[in-house]
Structure 1
């Protein structure tokens, strides 16, 4: 790890000499992934070009702070495209939608801007391919998650959702059934591997993606959390309670030996978690802005945690292109925006 100097409130109030030094280790990487930056940038750019209101089907990303900030700027979040006025601008969230939603939006003559993460879109294309091959699709994920709902909608009559190894054993399919598996992109890599291994044991005619469907950002953040868990008393993951990838990070930390909690923002920090804790690891989910991490660091500084280090980790330089209609001229990218480019 490398120590960094930050303007931390309360730095002069560090613990007494006889107390263990209280320190924070910040995971690297953490926070926004390329798909989240793109999705937030799409909404901001749509507001710039079309003016308010711009309607967004579901939360653009699963983070309460981002949703609230975009609402202040004129975004209107709705549960269904049916709530969007006929002909209005409607952004589909980063989690993707089913073909039925696209048809409904077309029937309402909505001006659709698709913010689906390209990695999620890839899973949709795989589902279509396996359906054309007349295979039963075994979709590993959480049935009530928006991403799973969208992928399942590509071939609902051919798709079964499985979440655990026990679900695999309960499948009412013969061992030689032609099947294919896909996975939700924000799952725990280790847990998903166990479910896929159960599928391989269960079926003799099983195909799947050449690599993992778990997105690079989820894998990188989970690996960074494993490192934090091995060297800290407590791991705090900044993220909203409906953020699948943030929840998985908490689970990964616990599986690797650390106490761990999800913290939507600094106001949700429970000081009882800090009893006898001298070393705290902090990370954030792929949809959590850095301003919330900074708020938590500042809050902990007032409690004596003034030594802040940044862990070494996997660098990320992935950038996803914007829809052509929104990109800055000649770049293919969204112009820099305050929400999508926050940094510590």
Structure 2
């Protein structure tokens, strides 16, 4: 293999740039040509491809987002779109591809691999919802962003003696809500993976009031409900003034933490090594601080799980 490509796809996440940098510089170190593909799979089909040099990724390790830009493409889900992409890869002499993104990005990479074009996937998503890895690139940074917001909101909640609903991202996964809620001392954490009863949430608020507690922080994963609807239900049951903070896309931005930079760098370097060794259709992960890789089929067959012991601990600590 003499030439490889790299692209970022789907939602951006802090640390993607560190991963791109690692892929480019690792490839050049081993005398490979490396090409950046801009705007994800859409850019691949359009031939928006440029050769990368060492300087192309200089001074980006600390930047959030992705210098390669990103986009979602419905067209690439069809065979015709995939064929257009492969034609562009062949045109530029690219023999292997590193795809940085989430579940949808992996499925595109799997299709290319099935058509005979070797791809390696890196888990770039703040949601931490990709099986086969303990952490995804960007999760740690998003977590710090949410915790910072919770700390600030708690000041206002205390001052005004109010109940606050903080809605966080995660799609259908509750990792951000669980980790941020535990770290932020939330009274209640609501995630898609574990059923809840509104009566229990209300009871926790009322028990706090009985012992003199003047405010409540509830962290709500977006995969369960939207914050406004949930706040209305709380107000109906408690007659307490309730406020909602939807953190939204602020969770995706910002300077990546040292953890995410190191994670992305290690994963990016490993992806190049896999391509050089003739591997294809593999998803890179990190388990117990060790680099691992699974086939895309294995990743898609694994269920996403949260640490239920952490959830139980959060309930025990917020009595």
TM-score, normalization: structure 2? 0.31
Which structure is richer in relative contact order (CA contacts within 8 A, separation 6 or more)? 1
- Greater share of helix residues, 1 or 2? 2
TM-score, normalization: structure 1? 0.29
